[in-house]
Amino acid sequence: MRTLAFLALAAACSKEPAKSAAKPADPKVEQGQTAAAFDPANLPPPGTAPAPVPITHELDAAWTAPIKTLKGQPTTLASYKGKALMIVNVASQCGNTPQYATLEALQKKYEPKGFTVIGFPCNQFGGQEPGTAEEISQFCATNYGITFPIMEKIEVNGDAAHPIYKALEPIADASGHTGDIRWNFEKFVVSADGTKITRFSPRTKPDDPSVIAAVEAALPR
């Protein structure tokens, strides 16, 4: 069953990557049409969120594990404690890449309420994130106007998986899936108090009403 799911996700990501907007004449980054066209006001109302997984000390190692931003600045997940988080592995050349637009819409709508998306580029799925940190940053800014934090490339599966993902992989989604990240854009919503996590498949879009409900339920009280 896991093999079939993997193949289905691979097919979904086999589309040609979205073409980058033409680079502006001046050095200032401009938003591409995809980013400019998406309005957070178009997000649907929340639906019903899957039951989150209660946690106690499962993320202890993840909070303090060193990570770096795309600019090479050191940080940790602990820097975002007290906020609801959506942790998502991202890629620039996947059929799921347009999810960036709705991730940014969620960021704009819920950031004032204590929420942030955190993107982790990963090249383990079909080699669909081959770029340098600078190239990833330019792609996200130019095509999607991304304002949420994106970290340096990491691995999310296998022996070299980052400690954050080693802590997240045992969490089950609504279908009961645990273990390896299945493809680009798998999502983990962590409650602001750090006691609950809701996991979503890569094929569940960020503007799915169940995702929006999970985000709202995770916000600080």
Strands 187-190 and 196-200: antiparallel
- Is residue 81 within 8 A of residue 194, CB to CB? The reply is yes
Annotated active-site residue 94? The verdict is yes
The two tokens of residue 23 are: 């680079």
Of 151, 199, 146, nearest to 171 by C-alpha is 199
C-alpha–C-alpha distance, residues 131 and 126, integer Å: 13
**H or E stretch including 104?**
helix 99-110
Catalytic-role residue among 13, 94, 122, 140: 94
The two tokens of residue 213 are: 């409900």
C-alpha–C-alpha distance, residues 176 and 157, integer Å: 18
Of 157, 91, 97, 150, nearest to 126 by C-alpha is 91
Strands 115-121 and 67-68: unpaired
C-alpha–C-alpha distance, residues 199 and 176, integer Å: 10
C-alpha–C-alpha distance, residues 71 and 69, integer Å: 5
Catalytic residues: 94
